[in-house]
Amino acid sequence: MKSHLKVLILEDRPEDAELVAYELKKTGFSVDWRRVENAEDFQAKLSPELDLILADINLPQFDGLTALYLLRESGLDIPFIVVTGTYEEIALECIKQGATDYLLKDRLARLGKAVTNALEERCSRREKEKAEEELRVSEERYRTVFEGVQDAILIEDFDGRIIDVNQQACRMYGYSYEEFVGKTARDLIAPGGTLYHYYGPDASLPEHPVVSLNRRSDGSVFPVELTVRIQMLRDEKIVLLVIRDVSARKEIQAALRQSEQRFRNLTEASVDCILITDADFNITYTNQAAEKVFQLVQDSAAHSLLDLFSEENQEQLQLALQGVRATGEGVVLGSIDPITALSPEGDFPAEAALSSWMVDDNPYYSIIIRDLTEQLEVRHQEQAQHRLAAVGQMAAGIAHDFNNALMPIGLYSEMILKDETLTERMKDQMRTILKQADRAARLTAQILDFSRQALLNVHPIDIQRFIQNLIDELFVRTFPPNIQFEISHSKQRCVIEADPNRMQQVFLNLALNARDAMGSGGILSFQVSSILVQPDSEDTYDLPEGKWIEIQVSDTGSGIPEETVPFIFEPFFTTKSRGKGSGLGLSQVYGIISQHNGFIRVKSEEGQGTTFNIFLPASDNTVENIEVHSTIQQSRNMEAVLVIEDDLANRRTISDILENAGYRAYSAANGDEALTLLENDAQHFDVIICDVLLPGMSGIELIPMARKHIPDIKIIMMTGHPITAEDRDRIAGYRVELMLKPFSYENLMIKIRTLVEKGQGG
C-alpha cells in the first residue's frame, strides 16, 4: 500500500484543512495535499494521480454531495471520505451514493484507519477489475479462435453430449446452435460411417485424422475428416472434435485434372513463347509457339533457357530469375528496354515475364517470351506522330501571326501598283515586294497545312477526274518530256470531300518530289480505287471501318534510304542540297491529308522507287461546279463599309484600300465599338467586313445583333485561324460570306461587288 499520498481536501476553512492533513501525517502517511472550496477548483484539480479526497459537507459555495456526483461523472476511482463538523443527513446520503467513510472533525483519531481501509478497498477493487478484464480478454480470444476457424468444432462432455459448437458447425450440418447442443456424435453419423472415439478409462482415440460419413439436418450425406482430442476445460475433461468437410476433395482432384488440361489448351493456343525450367534453368516444357520460334523439340536433350538470349542479356536474365525465386514476386524484363532473343530465323526484340513456384521443395520457373517487333514499330510511329504534332502546333502559331503581318504588305502593294503616276522602276520595285510577300504567304500556307490548321473550302470532288485534269493541264505541260504519266481509273464512283486547292497542292508536291527522284526520266503513276473496310477486313493499313478512296502515287525513281523514311514528313527536313528545297513539301502533304481526316503511308527502297498510299473518306454527295466570278473592283455608288478588326495594321490597310476603290470606309476594333456605330447611324452602312475572332464579343456573336439594326446588311466574315465545324455551320446559317486571310486586293473587291450587286443580305 502506498505511504505517500496525493490528497485533495474540500474545505472552506484553511485551518480545518491543515488540521486534517496534520492528523493524516500523524498516522504515518507522507501527504502532498491541495485545498479547494468551490466546484470550479474541485473539477480543475481532479486527476487520476489523486489517491484520496477528503470533503466537508457544507461549504458557502459548494457541498460534498455535489462533489461526489462530479467525481462519479469523471469516472475516476478515488476514495472519497466525508469529514464534517456535525452529523447531518446529507453525510449519510454521501455514504449511500458511494462515499468510502464518514468522520467528524472532533474525532479525527480514526482518520488513519479510515484512509487505510479506503486504499485497501480500492486496491482490492482494482485487482478484481483487472482479473475480470483478463478473463474477458481470454474469453474473447478463445471465442475469436473458436468462431474464426473454417472447420466445425464440437465440444462434448464425457457423457457424449454436445455442450458447445461454433457457427461453422451450424453451417456445415444445418442445425441452429440450440438444436445442436444436447445432441451426441452418434446423431451425426450416417449409415456406413463409424464412431471413432470412446469415453471412459479405456478410451481409444485415433492418432491421425480419420475419414467418416456424416449426415446433415436435411439428411444429405457427406464425407468428413475428424480429429479427436481430450482436453481440460475449467478443471473438467472434455472431448474436442475438429471436423472438416472433405466432400470437395474429389471435386478438387477433378478440377486439378481440368486445370492441367486448360493449362495445356491455353499455352498451346498462345502466340507467345511459354517455357518452364528447373532450378538450373534447363527447359522442361515448351508450348508450340516456343518450339516453332526457337526450333526446340520437346523430347530432345534439355536446352538451357539462357542459350535463347544474347550474351549481354544472359546475366541479366539469370539475376532476375534468382530474384524471382528469392522474393516470390514475378518480374517483366524488356518492357522498357527490350532484350534480344535468339532464333534460328533471326534475332528479335523481346520482353520476358518471369515467375517461380515450388513443387516438393524444388523450384521451377515459367518464362513467357513476347516478340516486340511489331509493338516497337507502332511505338515508333506514335512517337513520330507526337513529334509532328508538337512541331506543328508551334509552327502554326508563328504562321498565323506571320499572315497578319503579310496582309498589309500585299494589299498595300496591290493598291499602290494601281497608281498610274508611278514610274516603271517603282512599279518593278512594288512587284518585287508583292512577289516576295506572296512567296512568304505560300510558305506560311505550307506550315499551316502541316500543322492541320489551314482553313479549308471543302467541296465534293471526283478525285479521278481531278487528277486527270492535273496531269493534262499542269504536269504534262511543265514537267520534262522524259517523265511519263499514267493513271489507272476505278470503275467505281470515287468522290471525296476536299478543298480543291489543297488537293492540288498535295499531288503537285508529290509529283515534284518524284520528278527530282527521276533525274534521268521515269514513270509517275496514279491509281485510284474504292475500298470498303469492314470488321473482318484484312486491312494492312489499320483503317477505321467505312468507305475509303485510295490514291496510290508511285514513281520509278531513286527511292528513299531506310533510315530517312521515319523523318520525311517532318517540317524543314530535306535530303536535297541547299537551295533546292525548303523541306516543307511532304510535311504539307501530311498535314493536308490529316486535316481531311485521311491517312498517308509510304513504301520505298533505294533504287526501287517510292509509293505513297493516300486514304481519304469516300463521299456520297454530288460533285459541285465551282462558280467563277468576273473581276468587279470599283465602287459605283460610294457604298459605306464597316471594317471590324482588332489588328490595327490590318484594320487600317483594309480601310485604305476600300477608300482607294471608291468606298466610304469606317472601322471598329471590337464588337462594342461596331454596335455603337450601327446604333448611331443604322441605315448608313451597306457592307460589314468582320473578323471571326475579336476580343470580348466574337464576330459570329455580332452578326444577329448587327442585323437587328440593319436586317439586310451584307456581311463578310474573315479569319486567319481555323474555325470549328459548328462555327462554320453558324456562319452558313446566317447567310454571310467567309474569306480566308491573307486575301488579295482583287478578291476582296470581287467579294464586295458580288454581294452588293446580288443584293445578298440577311
728-747 mean pLDDT: 82
Does 378 have pLDDT greater than 80?
no
231-259 mean pLDDT: 75
pTM, full prediction: 0.40
**CA–CA separation, 719 vs 502, rounded Å?**
17
Q: What is the pLDDT of residues 471-505, one digit of tens each?
A: 888 888 889 889 999 998 888 889 999 888 788 88
**CA–CA separation, 516 vs 509, rounded Å?**
11
pLDDT of residue 387: 62
pLDDT of residue 144: 67
Beta-strand runs (E) in 261-338: 273-277, 283-286, 331-333
Q: What is the pLDDT of residues 699-709, one digit of tens each?
A: 999 999 998 88
Q: What is the pLDDT of residues 26-56, one digit of tens each?
A: 888 888 889 988 888 888 889 888 888 888 8
What CATH fold (topology level) applies to the domain 459-617?
Heat Shock Protein 90 (3.30.565)
Is 10 in a helix, a strand, or coil?
strand
pLDDT band at 597 (very low <50, low <70, confident <90, very high): confident
- Cis upstream peptide for 48 (omega within 30°): no
Does 578 have pLDDT greater than 60?
no
Here the cell at position 376 is 516497337
The yes or no reply on domain 640-758 and CATH 3.40.50.2300 is: yes
Q: What is the pLDDT of residues 292-308, one digit of tens each?
A: 888 876 554 468 888 88
**CA–CA separation, 582 vs 592, rounded Å?**
17
pLDDT of residue 87: 61
pLDDT of residue 690: 93
pLDDT band at 400 (very low <50, low <70, confident <90, very high): low
Return the closest-CA partner of residue 513 out of 558, 547, 457. Answer: 558
Here the cell at position 760 is 445578298
pLDDT of residue 630: 44
Write down the residue that cell numbers 446520503 correspond to: 93
User: What mean pLDDT value characterizes the chain?
Assistant: 80
pLDDT band at 88 (very low <50, low <70, confident <90, very high): low
Q: How far is CA 760 from the centre of its chain?
A: 51
**Do the first three CATH levels of 149-246 and 251-371 match, i.e. the same topology?**
yes
pLDDT of residue 407: 75
Q: 604-621: string of b/e by CB count within 10 Å (b at 16+)?
A: beeeebbbbbbbbbbbee
Choice among 400-404, 517-521, 666-670 with the minimum mean pLDDT = 400-404
Q: Cα-flanking dihedrals φ and ψ of residue 602, to 5°?
A: -130, 140
Return the closest-CA partner of residue 274 out of 360, 177, 185, 369. Answer: 369
**Is the Cβ–Cβ distance between 274 and 298 less than 8 Å?**
no
Is 84 in a helix, a strand, or coil?
strand
Write down the residue that cell numbers 496525493 correspond to: 6
Residue 346, phi-psi category: left (phi > 0), alpha (psi -120 to 50), beta (remainder): left
The yes or no reply on domain 251-371 and CATH 3.40.50.2300 is: no
Does 746 have pLDDT greater than 80?
yes
Return the closest-CA partner of residue 342 out of 297, 296, 309, 293. Answer: 309
pLDDT of residue 644: 94
**Among 3.40.50.150, 3.20.20.20, 3.40.50.2300, 3.20.20.70, what is the CATH number of 4-126?**
3.40.50.2300
Does 413 have pLDDT greater than 50?
yes
Does 188 have pLDDT greater than 90?
no
pLDDT band at 95 (very low <50, low <70, confident <90, very high): confident
Return the closest-CA partner of residue 611 out of 694, 651, 686, 555. Answer: 555
In percent, how much of the chain has pLDDT > 90? 10
| CA–CA distances in Å: residue 470 to residues 365, 369, 757 | 65, 52, 34
The yes or no reply on domain 149-246 and CATH 3.30.450.20 is: yes
195-218 mean pLDDT: 71
Would you list the domain boundaries of the chain? Answer: 4-126, 149-246, 251-371, 376-450, 459-617, 640-758
Is 458 in a helix, a strand, or coil?
coil
pLDDT of residue 253: 64
**Is the Cβ–Cβ distance between 643 and 666 less than 8 Å?**
yes
pLDDT band at 446 (very low <50, low <70, confident <90, very high): low
Does 526 have pLDDT greater than 90?
yes
594-609 mean pLDDT: 87
**Is the Cβ–Cβ distance between 483 and 515 less than 8 Å?**
yes
Does 583 have pLDDT greater than 70?
no
pLDDT band at 761 (very low <50, low <70, confident <90, very high): very low
396-408 mean pLDDT: 67
Second-level CATH architecture of 376-450: Orthogonal Bundle (1.10)
**Is the Cβ–Cβ distance between 583 and 404 less than 8 Å?**
no
pLDDT of residue 669: 92
DSSP state of 309: B
pLDDT of residue 223: 87
Q: What is the pLDDT of residues 609-661, one digit of tens each?
A: 999 999 999 998 888 654 444 444 555 567 899 999 998 888 998 998 888 88
pLDDT band at 322 (very low <50, low <70, confident <90, very high): confident
Does 540 have pLDDT greater than 50?
yes
The interaxial angle of helices 424-450 and 373-417, nearest 10 deg, is 160
| Amino acid identity at 640 | A
Please indicate whether residue 514 or residue 566 has the higher confidence score (pLDDT).
514
